[in-house]
Each structure stands twice: as C-alpha cells, then as structure tokens.
Structure 1
Amino acid sequence: MSKVLVHSLFSDFDINLFKAGKHYRLYEKFGSHIITVDGVEGTYFAVWAPSAKSVSVVGDFNFWNDQEHQLNVRWDASGVWEGFIPNIGKGSIYKYKIHATNSGIQTEKADPYARRCEHPPKTASIVWDNDYDWNDSTWMKKRKQNNAIDAPYSVYEVHLGSWKKKIEENRSLSYTELAEELVSYVKKMEFTHVELMPIMEYPYDPSWGYQITGYFAPTARFGYPEEFKLLVDTLHQNDIGIILDWVPSHFPDDAHGLGFFDGSCLYEHPDKRKGYHPDWKSLIFNYDRNEVRSFLISNAIFWLDQYHADGLRVDAVASMLFLDYSRDEGAWEPNIYGGRENLDAIEFMKALNIEVYQSFPDVQVIAEESTSFPMVSKPVFTGGLGFGMKWMMGWMHDTLQYFAKEPIYRKHHQNDLTFSMTYAFTENFMLPLSHDEVVYGKKSIIGRMPGDEWQKFANLRLLYSYMFTHPGTKLLFMGAEFGQHNEWDFQKSLDWHLLAYDYHTGVKNTITDLNKLYKKYPALYDKQFDRDGFQWISYDDHENSIIAYIRKGNEEKDILIIICNFTPVPRTDYKIGLPQDGKLVLVFNSDDKKYGGSGIYNSKEIKITKDNWHYREYAAEINIPPLSAMVFKIKK
C-alpha cells in the first residue's frame, strides 16, 4: 500500500491558470517541496503526467520500489499527480516511475521542476530547499538604471567549466571559487555584466549546456544551488550584473529528461516536422500546448525571481520563429496562412516578454536571432516580439570578414564596415563576438587577423575600439579579451599563461580602458539605440581605408569624435570636418605604447579651425597612426 498522504499545494485557480497556459509561478507548486503537514515534516511531490496510469516516487528512501509511494491523480482532469510523503527531507534522491495508460510503456524520469540534480553522469533529482540570505539589496534597488537601454552595457561571456581550471587537480573552479576569482577579474576588467553559457543541469559536456534536462537546477558540476546564489550575490555586491543563457527552443531526448515523459509527446510537439530539430538531433517544445507555455515562462521567471538574474539571453530564436528552419523542402508544413512563421512560438515569445517585463521591469531579455525578422526588440503593443535587445549578427559577420582581409584589399570592401549603419537603429542591437565565433575551425579572433605579429595585435585592438565606439551594447567571449591564439576548447582552461607576454597584456589593457571609456562618456551610451546618437563625418575614403564619425549623448556637450585607420600606413595632416570650434582632446588611442602600439602620433590637443570641410563649418588636421582608432572630445 502506498505511504503517500493526500495533500495539495494547488488551488482550483492554480489549476485553471495552468490549463489555460497562464500560470507563471509553477515552481511554487510542482516539484518537491519540504513542508509540514499535521505536525509531521516531509516532502510534497507534484508532477504533470496526463497520459499516466500510475506515478510513483522512487528513490534511495524506498529502494527504488515503485509500489511504496504512489502519487494520487487529481480529480480535475489536469493530469497532475501529487501527494505528501512523511519523513522524507532534504538530500533525498528520487525519480518518478510512470506507467502509461494505454501503451504499457514505463518511464523513469527526473523531476522537471527539481531544484537540485545529481552530478552527471548520474541523473536523479534531489529534494532541496531554497534557503539563502541575500546581501545584494543595494544592487537590486539600483539595477534598473544599470540594466537600462541608455546605460553602458558591456558583457563578458563565460563558460564556467573552462574559464579557469585547477591544473594540479584537473578540475574546473567551483561556484564558491568563481565567486572570488571570476568576480575579481571581471571587476578589474571593468565589464558591467557577465553572461553565463547555460548553467541549468545538462547531461552531456560537449553540448556546452545547450541540451538541458534540469531546467530549474543549476548544474551540480560546480556545487550546490546556494553556492551558485553566492556567485550571483557576489557579482551584485561588486556592481556586476548577471545574464543567463536560456534555451526554450529545444531539449535532448535523454531517457531521464522531458522527452516522451509520460509515454506520450508531452513537452515536445508530436509532429516531427515541428517537434524534432535535425541539426541538433533534439526535441522541440510544443508551443501550442498551454501547459508547456506555462512551464517555460515559469522557468524564465524562476531564474529572475529565485536567483536574482538581471537578464536572460534567449538562445536560437530564429529556430523557433520559422517552421522551415534548417529543413529541406517538403520537411515542414506552412502555417494556417501559408507562411513559414511559427505562429505558436511567436505568441509564446510575446507572452514571455510581457510577463518578464511586467514582473521584472529592471531586467533585460536578449534575443540571439540571426535573421531579418522585423521588430524583435520592439514592444508587443506595437506589433513587436517584446525583447529588450537583439544580437547584431550582420555586424559581426561583416566586420570579422572585413578584418580578415589584408589591408591592401580593404579599400575595395569598406562597405562591409559602413553597411551596418543603414540598419543599426532598426532594433536595439547588441554587438556580439561570442563563443560561436571561436570554434569549429573558425579560428580565434586574433587568429583571423592578417599580417605579422605587430599587425595582428594592432588589428585586434582596432577591431575592439571600433566595436566599443559603434552604436549598440557589447558582448565579448572569454579569452578574446587578451588575444588567445587557440580556438576555445570546452575541456581546457583558457591560456592564461599568455599574459606573461606584452602584446597579450596590451590587448587586456585595451579592453579595460575601452570599458572605462564606454562607462565614462555618455556619448557612447545615452543614445546607443537612437539614430540621433550617431553621425558620419566621412565614410567614403575608400582609398585610405579611413572612417570618421561622431557619437552624441543627451547633452549638447556630450560628443566624441572617432577616427579609424584600417591600414598599416600612418596618415599625416589628415583633415576631417567638425561640428564646432575649440580643441580636439585625445581621450583614447589604440596605438598607444601601453597597449603595444607604435606610439608615433599622440598629440594630446589639436586646434580646430574655421574651415568648411565634410559639409561642416570647422575642421582639424590629425596625424593618424597605423591600424588604429583614436577617440577625441572637444574642448571649447
């Protein structure tokens, strides 16, 4: 006989919201919860399995016997199985043994809502509480201004398993160690935010975390859930925001995961044309199912609520938007209007963003979206998808393609650089140089740069300077900030030994100073998504491969002048038109000797004269170093 007591955390209202796809706090109900009933402490379990004939909790407390603790199915046709098991508490290991109604199939599944999972390759769930005393109230009170779209937003993208390793022990750093070492490093580098590649529990290391089985549990690879909270807390105490990679696009078909959960296609779409991803050999969520939408949006809210995340970067949005994504002709079915858009996924994303920004108006949801789908970062009420920002993949591809060319040929490809400004303000764009650009034979960022060693590093500093002065927020993958030569390998630590060499230290110092520059001058962030914040001075000097532009802030005095020379030929007395009188004062030069540059031209102040040039009333003549970016402010 089952030793499960009848008990429920669900009200009728909860069930109605769940069935309608409108319950966005399901983690408060589903899963395992340590509670006291009639003076007895134990654990309440609840799981959604509408195609089940019976559901048992099996674990280390009942020798994995499915006859001991059989849950009770609710009377309301919700498909929810639940019950209270006395004397089971924190640390108990368990799964759900599910017998399907018609097929006779049995599955043994990890809890979709588990707060903690066993360390891979083990796959069971662990009963856990949510106790943690947060110390980040100062950050939480002011984070709305730190996460605003008119604030400096410079992101350091990190894969926790390979950022740094304890070589002698051949292991990655723990959450606790990262709270000390990673936080200290990011603070010194002056980044405003960290983005973590998925930390939700995943079974397969080579997936980098993008094939998730434990959506509500930080991976056990690096420690306990409260230790991950310590990492978040420490980042916040050091004025650093945290963005989590989030994957609502697909999930693996591992036996203990969400796939074929109760003997039916419960979380995945039953039609393989909509429910199976051919590239990743994974299953696609059924966005048409109300309960699945509730699960996913509850998961997004969970990380913002329970873990104080400052934002979510939503992975693979393009694969969700289009029914024909990576599919051959005939392998997909058009929507009801004959189009290729996945209307259910679009409605899901709109509902997600409405709920997130309504509940957490001080965070950001960022779309990794690689197509020209319109209005991704525009509000839902105007017809947009409602994201706060979108990755600017076109800028990334065009810019890296341009920099890979020998400088002598760049004059024929200047449009690769300038083209981004034709669409830069159609979305709230983030400029990404992410992990995807340093794997699978693409080479590292510095590995793409042409020329001898000096030119490679000068090109790299120029690329980063152009990136930080281009409109939009910024993202840089770990290792790129000091010019790692090797491609990223998730099994190995970054090549920290390179910082013993001046060129690599010079790149690191360049990034630090660019972050300082970005945060110091409102011209670089006040209007980073606004056409009024940018003006060309000169974009058509193809022969010299030079561009010059103005960045503007809200105040009239907040303007910066940027000049980039994409060749190794220095230019003397190069004239540019300027908007006002006074003196040009140099505030940044990527060719400075402290970065590993030549240092040949470093005039601190340059007189502006009344002289019509570039359709402006004033002008100045500047000596421009080779392969460099210079940033000036105007002193009246």
Structure 2
Amino acid sequence: MDMYGFYTGKIFDAYEYLGCRPQKAGAVFRTFAPAAVRVSVIGSFNGWEETPMQKVHDGNFWECVIPEAKAGDMYKYRIWRRDGSFRDHCDPYGFGMELRPHNASFIRDMTAYSFHDSGWMKKRNDCKRGPLNIYELHPGSWKRPDAGAHGGAGTYDGAGMQDGAGTQDGAGMQNGAGTQDAAGTQNAVGSQEEAEAWYHYDELAELLIPYLKEYGYNYVELMPLGEHPCDESWGYQQTGFFSPTSRYGTADELKRMVDLFHRNGIGLILDFVPVHFAVDDYALADYDGTALYEYPHRDVGNSEWGSKNFMHSRGEVRSFLQSCADYWLREYHFDGLRMDAISNMIYWQGQPERGVNGNAVSFLQYMNRGLKERNPGILLAAEDSTSFPGVTKGAENGGLGFDYKWDMGWMNDTLDYFRTDPEYRSRDYHKLTFSMMYYYEENYLLPFSHDEVVHGKATIIQKMNGDYEKKFPQARALYMYMYAHPGKKLNFMGNELAHFREWDEKRPLDWELLSYPLHDGFHAFMKELNRLYLETPALWTLDFDREGFRWLACNEEEKCVYAFLRTDGEQELLALFNFSQKTQEAFRLPISADEADGAESGKKEIQKEESSFTLRLSSDWDIYGGTKSAAVERGKSLVTEGGALVVDIPAFGALYLVRDGGKE
C-alpha cells in the first residue's frame, strides 16, 4: 500500500492491504490504530484468546499472521487504550460481519467467485443519452418467503430469466444458520427463524429479474447493504462498511445476484453512505481510543440522526471512504453509486448558514474523479436538496463530479400540486412550470423515493387529492407528467402498485392489492408507461439539451392545461395534460413555435404546414381504470387545423401523441 497516499487521502485500494485476507497458510490481519497501546486478534480459531499483533511501518499499523485462521472464521480486534482499558472492535475493513445482535467480523475469500458479465461491463455507460428507469429497492421488504402467495415466491418464479452457462453459484451451500458458501464464508444469521425471514441475494434476483424485465425497469437501486445493527436505519447507519449485510446471505450470493442482473441487461446502483456512521462502540466510534474516523467536537461530530459524522479533512478517512466506494464497484461490479445526504457534506451539518465544508467538498471532487477513472461507465448520483452550484459539473472543471443530482425541488412542488384541491390548482399552476426555469443548471434525476412514502407523509397514491376513485386518474396523469418531463426516473418499489400503506421495512409489499381492479389496472398502466419510455428516444436522448424540450402551453392557469414537445432530433412526442376535474373539450393547441403559448421568442418553427399525430397513450383508457376504450382510441390519428391541434383532454388526464413521419 502507498503509505503516503493513505495518509494524504489519495488511494482507492486500502482494502487490498488492511483488513484480513486468507493465505495459503492461515490469514494475515492488519489494522490502523495509531493511538492504541497494544492490539490483539481474538477469534474462533484461538478460543477467543488474544494473539498479539505487532507494530509495522511507522508504528501506526498493526499486523499478525495466524496459521490456524481460515475463511469462515470469526474474529475481532482487542484494542488497548492509554487509560488501561480495552474494547473489542469489528474490523473496519472486514469483508464479512455477523448479523445483529452479534458483531464479530469473519474472514472471507474474495477470490472465490468468478463473474460472467464481461459483455455488460464493456458496454455499460452513464446513460446520459439513454433511458434510465430506476426501481429503488429495499431487499428485505419487496417480498418475503414467509408471506404466502402474494408476498412470497408465487408470482414471479424466475421464468424468462437468463442464467447463462458456467455460473458459479456456491454449490454445496446450505441455507441454514451459520453455514458456509463456496468461499467458506459464514452466513452468520442469528437463528433459523431469521434465516427464513428474507430471501437470499441470489434468490431475490431470480424473483426480481423477470418482474423488472416485464415491467420495464432497466436499473435497480439497492438501499445500503453495508452491515448495520438497526433494521429501522434501513442501512444508513452502518458498522460494517465493507461487509454486505448477512441478512440476505453471503458475499458470493451478492456477486451472483449482480452477475444475474447484468446477464439479463439490468444495471445495479448501490446507495452509498459517505457522511456518517453508527455510534455502536464495537465499530468505528473511538476506534483506537480517540476520534479516529469522526470529528472530536460534538457540534460537528454528531449528526442530526444521532450518528457520528466522518471527518473528511483527515487523509486516512478519505482513503477509507474512497476505498470503500471503489470496493463495491470493483469487487461486486455495481454500476454506480447513489450518495446519500450530500447536503450534509457540502455544508456543515447540512446548514447553509454555517458555511461550506471545504474539506468535504474537495474530498467529493477527488473521490468522484478517481472512481470514474478507475471504473469506466459507472454513474454517480447525489441526493442534494440545496442550491449549491456545479454538483453535476466535472470535478476537473470545479464541480463535484456527479453525473446526476436528485431534483428534490421538482419532487416537492409536483407532489404539493397534486395534494391541492383541484378548485385551487389555478393558483398553484406554476409549481409545475418552475422546474424548467432551473432545469438545465444540473443533470437532474426525478425521484419518487422511499423518503416520500414513510413517516406519516403518505404514499404517492395517497397524496393525490380526493377520494379513493379520484386518486387513481390523478396518479396516472402524474406519472405521465413525470415520464415526459426531462430527467431520468426513479421510483420506489410499491409505487407501481398504487400502494396505500406506508412502507414498513418489516413487512413485504401488499401484493394482494392486485386483486382489486383499480390497482391491477394501475399496475398494467405503469407497465405500459415504463415500456413506452424505454422504447421512445424522444423521452431521453436529449434530456440535458435545450433542443430536446419545448413548451406549447404553460400559461393555461384557468384550465390547468400543460403541453410540451419532447424530441431526440427526429422523433417528436407531444405530452398534453389536464389536471383539472373538468374535461377540456375541443382544446386548441398551437403546434408551430411562433403560435405556441409560452414558446421562446426567436425559436425556429418546427413545422408550419399541417401535420398529423398518432395517439400512443392515454391515462383515461378503460384497461387502466379510465373511461375511454383503448381498443378504439389506440393509434387514433389527429390532424392539425391551421397549425394547431384541436383535442379533447379528459379530466385529470394525460395524452402522449407522436408526430407522424418521425422516427418511431
């Protein structure tokens, strides 16, 4: 390991030196604990008695080789402090860890699994000029094996999933508690009951892949997988940053999951937490008896969530976090990282009035640039609700170096609008036009994430104004607005079901909702909308180019009508919306740029002569719970009159029309 690079925060491969790695004879253990008086290894191989470690290099690192240690064995570091006390810690760089309430690390052979996804890895890219439709997933609550026919494995059984030849699947692995996979790694679940509470990583993949392919999602974003002691933290307060949680199985099972996704043409993004860590005293907190990973002062060291903030000014912490990010990308072949709570890195404690945290900003710039150089084709997304400039600008040009920024403003304004009584939506009309006033300042991703369906906020369908029946047409129109609006897409699992119950990490989704006609129709609607999105270049090729979007109606306050064109330079898609509770009959929509309401002055005319459009999708079709016959309306042609379309727009309705003669 480059020691100077480690201390100055320049390396991305500290995990290849630190931690524990099995050798031909035994295993080598290394940890960084500069303030420790002495350090020992205790584990299942020495009867949990101390095997002393020796200081190496400059005296800040500790090392030993234990001939009896092997893959699958558990261990901890016993770190003696200057006051004569000691504390037993899991390995900060450990590749495996027990499930709560236990907390030992265990030895993993990270070379045991061989990937078969080279074709995917060579062609993957950041999707800026391609479709990006993300299904955000909590692996423990999508479905569970003990949830019966609806929440269990009965609905999607792996049909249509490509496994590929030569897949290494951990042959000989048992699913019981404390068993080992092909790498000799313990599953480390606490009991047989807990082992059966969740699907294993690769089992989940076999259920998810056919569902995602059928319903039109091309990427999955997994909520954080680092080991964490509290289920309710959802993985955002971690103790094992290099340890895939044992809730869902072993490292090899996770690798096989990623492999299966890639061979079926689906990318995987991991939610990564570079801001803070869990306070549990067996993990990073006060690791060597001092604030080694965290700030020593409470005012900046303790986060709003009760966790510890990483000290991003310290080179060793930078190397730890950079190496962790690189580890998930290189060792597990994840295609990108969504980084949580970036606002709390940009500003001290996430508060702009306290000023910019320059050290954290420079860390993000250096890390993002390095990750992109080391892992071609990955995508990096930031959850940031502030107006800090240049989040998606290249780090080499002074930006933070992310590919995408979550558009929290769009999300909040949009959901506020749909909560509003239709009688008052004219007043709030421009909540839905405001996003395009700032949109091109960053590369935005439009999120309806897990954060919007918990803690009393209500689910997406529940947020719609009105009674049960009125919520569904509004939700269908909302999603057509989302998918037509520039920006990549993300939806949390269950949104596609019109899920009424807020998300609970302890329960699977309510799949039985699909036995109700409106929910089943909504599910079918989302399937068609997703597939139409993936198949329509006009909706994504020029997401971040002003030529890809043009308003046609953005001042129809009284009617609550909006319209715009999306294009990839050849195909043109017209998106038309009526968010009032009254059908807009014979609505006249100018199409040419000089006539269109709200068109930018000086914009060239797209087409002066009469043209025709074909109806591709209506939110009001009967097969989705609406009132109009899809069989009659699908493919219906509308011709302009005097440069304008005259069209009926259903109440709480949305229409997609494609200009004839363009590329289909």
Q: Note whether the superposition's TM-score is higher than 0.5.
A: yes
2:655 is the alignment partner of 1:630: yes
CA contact (8 A) 1:183 1:238 kept: yes
2:334 is the alignment partner of 1:309: yes
Look up the match of 2:550: 535
Aligned-partner residue type, residue 104 of structure 1: G
Aligned-partner residue type, residue 608 of structure 1: V
Find the aligned partners of 1:463 and 1:81 in 2 and give their Cα distance. 57
2:644 to 602, 619, 622: 619
Look up the match of 2:55: 73
2:472 is the alignment partner of 1:433: no
2:625 is the alignment partner of 1:596: yes
Are the structure 2 counterparts of residues 182 and 604 from structure 1 closer, same or farther at C-alpha, using a change threshold of 3 Å? closer
SS at match of 2:289: coil
Q: How does 1:183-332 map to 2 (within 5 A)?
A: 183-277=209-303, 279-325=304-350
Query: What stretches of structure 1 move > 6 A for 4+ residues in a row?
Result: none
Cα drift, residue 326 of structure 1: 5.5
Higher strand share: 1
Look up the match of 1:127: 107
- Write the deviation string for residues 371-390 of structure 1: whole angstroms up to 9, x where unpaired: 11111011112221111100
- Write the deviation string for residues 33-76 of structure 1: whole angstroms up to 9, x where unpaired: 0113xxxx11011100000111100011222222xx11111142
Find the aligned partners of 1:319 and 1:21 in 2 and give their Cα distance. 20
- Write the deviation string for residues 135-174 of structure 1: whole angstroms up to 9, x where unpaired: 2122112212xx3211100100011111111226772222
Look up the match of 1:55: 39
- Write the deviation string for residues 450-491 of structure 1: whole angstroms up to 9, x where unpaired: 223332110111111100000000000111111011111111
Look up the match of 2:517: 502
Find the aligned partners of 2:249 and 2:374 in 1 and give their Cα distance. 29
Find the aligned partners of 1:127 and 1:561 in 2 and give their Cα distance. 57
Cα drift, residue 20 of structure 1: 2.0
2:414 to 380, 388, 399: 399
Find the aligned partners of 1:43 and 1:125 in 2 and give their Cα distance. 14
Look up the match of 1:489: 504
Find the aligned partners of 1:172 and 1:406 in 2 and give their Cα distance. 41
Cα drift, residue 603 of structure 1: 6.8
2:122 to 141, 147, 167: 141
Look up the match of 1:110: 90
Unaligned runs of 5+ in 1: 1-9, 335-339, 612-617
Look up the match of 1:5: none
Look up the match of 2:140: 161
CA contact (8 A) 2:614 2:638 kept: no
Higher relative contact order (CA 8 A, sep 6+): 2
Look up the match of 2:603: none
Q: How does 1:399-478 map to 2 (within 5 A)?
A: 399-478=414-493
- Write the deviation string for residues 168-205 of structure 1: whole angstroms up to 9, x where unpaired: 67722221220111222112111010001111110111
CA contact (8 A) 1:606 1:620 kept: no
Q: How does 1:163-178 map to 2 (within 5 A)?
A: 163-165=142-144, 166-167=146-147, 171-178=197-204
Q: How does 1:355-370 map to 2 (within 5 A)?
A: 355-370=370-385
Over the aligned positions, Cα root-mean-square deviation in angstroms equals: 1.5
Find the aligned partners of 2:472 and 2:641 in 1 and give their Cα distance. 37
SS at match of 1:184: helix
CA contact (8 A) 1:229 1:307 kept: yes
Q: How does 1:4-15 map to 2 (within 5 A)?
A: 10=1, 14-15=2-3
2:19 to 31, 45, 49: 31
Unaligned runs of 5+ in 2: 149-192, 593-606
SS at match of 1:544: coil
Cα drift, residue 500 of structure 1: 1.0
Look up the match of 2:601: none
Find the aligned partners of 1:254 and 1:162 in 2 and give their Cα distance. 25
Aligned-partner residue type, residue 651 of structure 2: P
Find the aligned partners of 1:510 and 1:603 in 2 and give their Cα distance. 14
SS at match of 2:136: strand
CA contact (8 A) 1:105 1:263 kept: no
Look up the match of 1:552: 567
Aligned-partner residue type, residue 129 of structure 1: D
CA contact (8 A) 2:391 2:399 kept: yes
1:582 to 611, 619, 630: 611
Find the aligned partners of 1:311 and 1:381 in 2 and give their Cα distance. 19
Q: How does 1:330-409 map to 2 (within 5 A)?
A: 340-409=355-424
Cα drift, residue 298 of structure 1: 0.4
SS at match of 2:400: coil
Find the aligned partners of 1:602 and 1:388 in 2 and give their Cα distance. 39
CA contact (8 A) 1:590 1:629 kept: yes
Find the aligned partners of 2:468 and 2:313 in 1 and give their Cα distance. 54
- Write the deviation string for residues 366-418 of structure 1: whole angstroms up to 9, x where unpaired: 00001111110111122211111000000000000000112121111111111
Greater CA deviation, 166-175 or 121-130? 166-175
CA contact (8 A) 1:583 1:605 kept: no
CA contact (8 A) 1:72 1:81 kept: yes
Aligned-partner residue type, residue 55 of structure 2: V
Find the aligned partners of 2:49 and 2:453 in 1 and give their Cα distance. 48
Find the aligned partners of 1:275 and 1:200 in 2 and give their Cα distance. 21
SS at match of 1:374: coil
2:64 to 83, 91, 113: 83
Are the structure 2 counterparts of residues 602 and 409 from structure 1 closer, same or farther at C-alpha, using a change threshold of 3 Å? farther
Are the structure 2 counterparts of residues 61 and 411 from structure 1 closer, same or farther at C-alpha, using a change threshold of 3 Å? same
CA contact (8 A) 2:616 2:634 kept: no
Q: Identity percentage over the alignment?
A: 41
Find the aligned partners of 1:273 and 1:532 in 2 and give their Cα distance. 47
CA contact (8 A) 2:640 2:646 kept: no
Cα drift, residue 572 of structure 1: 1.9
Find the aligned partners of 2:135 and 2:614 in 1 and give their Cα distance. 30
Find the aligned partners of 1:224 and 1:381 in 2 and give their Cα distance. 38
Find the aligned partners of 1:249 and 1:510 in 2 and give their Cα distance. 38
Look up the match of 2:158: none
Look up the match of 1:615: none
Find the aligned partners of 1:574 and 1:186 in 2 and give their Cα distance. 37
Aligned-partner residue type, residue 107 of structure 2: V
Aligned-partner residue type, residue 104 of structure 2: A
Find the aligned partners of 2:312 and 2:349 in 1 and give their Cα distance. 16
Count of residues paired in the alignment: 595
Cα drift, residue 442 of structure 1: 0.6
